[in-house]
Amino acid sequence: MAGERKEPHFSRRDVLRGALAGAVSSLHYRSVSAQTEPWRIPGHVARPYGSRSKFESAVRYVVGARYPVPWASYSPIEAFYGAVTPSSLHFERHHNGVPDIAPDSHRLLVGGLVDRPRIFTLDDLKRFPSVSRMHFIECAGNSTDCIGGLKPDATAGQLHGLSCSSEWTGVLLSTLMREVGVRTTATWMIAEGADAALLDRSIPIEKCWDDILVAYGQNGEAVRPEQGYPIRLVVAGWEGNINIKWLRRLEFLDRPAMTREETVKYVDPMPDGTVRQFSFVMEAKSLITFPSGMQRLPDRGFYEIQGIAWSGRGRISRVEVSTDAGRTWQLAELQGPVLPKTHTRFRFPWVWNGQETVIQSRATDETGYRQPPRAVLLKVRRQEVTGMSQHFNGIQSWHIGADGQVRNTYA
């Protein structure tokens, strides 16, 4: 019939030929997809403990090869986001290696000028009311490489990576002090670790009653071995050496114990030949982590300058950034919440014109203390014979070349 629509007719051979072509096309598409669209391939199954992507490569800078075992590792702070340091990348500093301590057999002895001496197990400590607080820990010797000869090819982490910030969980030392009945005649406490060095430090009683934490948790999990597992002191805002790890003894005294670590070590030579002792507090400090040493700006244009600031005196109140070697300063934005005695991230919008320059940051804390220039700090504190090696918090300068290469510099 004229105009009648005829349905197409396929033979059995046509159908088989079409099916085979479709299968070949499907296999080819899957092969191409596997190369260009990897999310189409089923990934790995669930694992008992998470790990980062294989494409992330930031690791700690391990130093101290002249010793039988490396004595420290610096955190790659230039690779971090926010204010919290990953537990696995937190810096470490030890004096005779990292002990392997079984928590079930570990004990904490608390005695001296107390009414009720006690020996606590880890389970005993976990029965007390717990607290979680964000605090930084900084080695007193952090940034020492900024004192002497210039190291132009150093990263931010290699220069300043002995400062990290974590959420610490544990029991307040003041809670244990009430439990054992510390006497009014006690004016100091000595804390001792269970490492092979038996590292120990004296702490004034006022700080003991204030905000010291006997910590068993870090960033939501157990404190890691190099951080003092199973328990450690967290002495908020004070030099790292006093944050005793692998804590085994607390003894209350009527005077400082005058240990090796507070007489021969961890003291500050002064220009007049005297030595500053018990310089506990880590003062206000900041540094730009992007752009920073050994990084490179690929082209002129907009960048967000980022960095971290902290102070053992309390909160950071302001951070200023200079993009012209300190001639002018502008306020940076602080990322909230701004907490006391912990890292605070700052940000500053900047358009680079492609010309060489020097960028810097300086922090001011809530007490009004402002981070000093490097030259000013060395003039006040350095003693030419032995040299200053502790508590360096001078302004960090980064030189940006016309090619975008960033290097450490003194300005």
In the chain, where the domains are located: 285-409
Q: Does 298 sit behind a cis peptide bond, omega within 30 degrees of 0 on the bond before it? A: no
Using CA atoms, how far residue 316 sits from 204, 237, 291, 323, 369, in Å, is 25, 12, 21, 21, 10
Determine the pLDDT at residue 269: 75
Q: CATH for 285-409?
A: 2.60.40.650
Q: What is the largest CA-CA distance in the chain?
A: 118
Determine the pLDDT at residue 15: 45
Q: What is the mean pLDDT of each run of 10 residues along the chain (411 residues)?
A: 51 53 49 62 90 94 71 96 97 94 98 98 98 98 93 97 98 98 98 96 98 98 98 98 98 97 85 85 98 98 98 98 98 98 98 98 98 92 62 97 98 92
Strands 118-120 and 330-331, bridge-based pairing: unpaired
Determine the pLDDT at residue 69: 61
Determine the pLDDT at residue 66: 56
Determine contact, residues 268/276, Cβ cutoff 8 Å.
yes
Determine the pLDDT at residue 67: 58
Determine the pLDDT at residue 389: 76
C-alpha span between 130 and 388 (Å, rounded): 39
Determine the pLDDT at residue 34: 54
